Amino acid sequence: MENYHLELNDVDEFIPQLANEFGCDFSEHLGEFQLKIPESKGRGTIKGINFPNGIGLYTYHCKLNTDINLAVSQPFIKPIRFIYCVKGEVESYFNKKEDLNNITDHQFLIAAPKDNEVHNLNFIKDRDIIMCYLEIDRLKFQQYFSFDLHDLEPVFYKIFSDIEALNRISETGSFSLKTADAIKEIRHCDATGFPRVNFIGAKALEVLSYMLARFKKESQRFENTEMREKDRKAIETAVNYIDSNISQTGTVNDLAQIAGVNTNKLQEGFQAIYGKTVNGYIRDVRLSKSLTMLSAGNKNVSEVVYELGLSSRSYFSKIFKAKYGVSPRKVLSGRSISEKFHK
């Protein structure tokens, strides 16, 4: 196993130091750092960005040729990390393998070392790894609260109030598909420049809110209400199919067969996770994709309707305006005005 010890005095030092250890370059634009894994160690990327509210967002999408240990210490910052393993396996522990935890697909870990402790993350070779974590500077995060810290619920006060890192935290559990969807949107965001930074910042807060809700739920031991693993995977299969085949999703019954559950179970799952029916979810995905396409200005309304698998342009215009408060034509005309302004 290759070992790398990173001692960070500033939140923005992580990727530059790691690039130096790997012997490779990194890039930075508007505060977002990116490192491309050198071929000698594998392939993939590691990205990181830190926001003024004390939240940093880091994403890993890589496959390594060798086992790698990252030992991270931050003498002047007492962070807490909300780690989400979307795919693969990651091992986390502190000094001398205290509080050793393995997290795999759709599991989370809340980890915070004691003062002067090192947080170790082990990555296993020849495994596709997709991981996302929020690193929160607890002191800076508190300064953005519009209320007194003591007003927090006890379960949250415990993890955010310890700005001197007197206690070690290492709590695991499973995260929801809502969290997975938000992470997917972050990873697949193709916006650039300032809009990208704002989008990622907003999504980081969204992921944190889902995480805190799940952590509270699991801390109160509501396991009996959680969805069975088999049913969760069925919903995930249906969601992935919808996202990849939006123009031909078929009926609810077709989706249930693809997911391997009956229609009632599929509808119950979507209501429990997304608070909407299967068709309601499909409609919202179509509307979201249509807004992206119309905003890009490369297709007219009829082309967008066709690509989304809808048969009625008038119906599309109706639901689009109900969702966004503006007609599809207005979005296109607004795009034209924007293009003229920038010429």
Q: What is the CATH number of the domain that holds 251?
A: 1.10.10.60
- Whether residue 217 sits in one domain with residue 299: no
- Whether residue 107 sits in one domain with residue 213: yes
Residue 155 sits at the vertex; the CA angle it makes with 151 and 157, to the nearest 5 degrees, is 45
CA 132 vs CA 68, 110, 229, 245: distances in Å: 17, 12, 21, 26
**What are 164's two structure tokens?**
């001197």
Residue where a domain terminates, one of 188, 223, 258? 223
- Whether residue 154 sits in one domain with residue 69: yes
Q: 2-7 and 26-29 as β-strands: parallel, antiparallel, unpaired?
A: unpaired
Mapping DSSP onto H, E and C, the string for 108-163 reads EEEEECCCCCCEEEEECCCCCEEEEEEEEEHHHHHCCCCCCHHHCCHHHHHHHCCC
- Whether residue 141 sits in one domain with residue 199: yes
Best CA proximity match to 123, nearest among 73, 180, 72, 174: 72
DSSP annotation string for 7-66? E-SSGGGHHHHHHHHHT--EEEETTEEEEEPPTTTEEEEEEEEE-TTSEEEEEEEEEESS
DSSP annotation string for 254-321? HHHHHHTS-HHHHHHHHHHHHSS-HHHHHHHHHHHHHHHHHHHTSS-HHHHHHHTT-S-HHHHHHHHH
- Whether residue 116 sits in one domain with residue 31: yes
Q: What are phi and psi of 245, to 5 degrees?
A: -135, 45
- Whether residue 51 sits in one domain with residue 188: yes
CB 91 within 8 A of CB 122: yes
- Whether residue 243 sits in one domain with residue 169: no
CATH number at residue 178: 2.60.120.10
- Whether residue 84 sits in one domain with residue 26: yes
Strand partners, 133: 58, 83
**What is the crossing angle of helices 278-296 and 313-324, to 10°?**
90
Contacts (Cβ under 8 Å, ≥6 apart) of 205: 55
Residue where a domain terminates, one of 223, 249, 270? 223
| Dist CA 307 CA 296 (whole Å) | 15
| Dist CA 230 CA 306 (whole Å) | 34
193: left (phi over 0), alpha (psi -120 to 50) or beta: left
- Whether residue 25 sits in one domain with residue 169: yes
Ordered per-residue pLDDT tens for the chain, 343 residues: 899 999 999 999 999 999 999 999 999 999 999 999 999 999 999 999 999 999 999 999 999 999 999 999 998 888 999 999 988 999 999 988 888 999 998 888 999 999 989 999 999 999 999 999 999 999 889 888 877 776 778 778 878 888 888 889 898 887 777 888 888 889 888 888 898 999 999 999 998 988 888 777 766 544 434 457 777 788 888 988 998 898 888 899 999 999 998 999 898 888 877 778 899 889 888 888 888 888 777 788 899 888 888 888 899 999 888 888 888 888 777 654 344 334 4
| Dist CA 142 CA 130 (whole Å) | 29
Residue where a domain terminates, one of 188, 204, 223? 223
- Report how many domains make up the chain: 2
39: left (phi over 0), alpha (psi -120 to 50) or beta: alpha
Q: Look up the domain containing 268 and give its range.
A: 228-342
- Whether residue 336 sits in one domain with residue 256: yes
Q: What is the pLDDT of residue 289?
A: 86
- Whether residue 186 sits in one domain with residue 149: yes
- Whether residue 194 sits in one domain with residue 59: yes
| Dist CA 220 CA 205 (whole Å) | 23
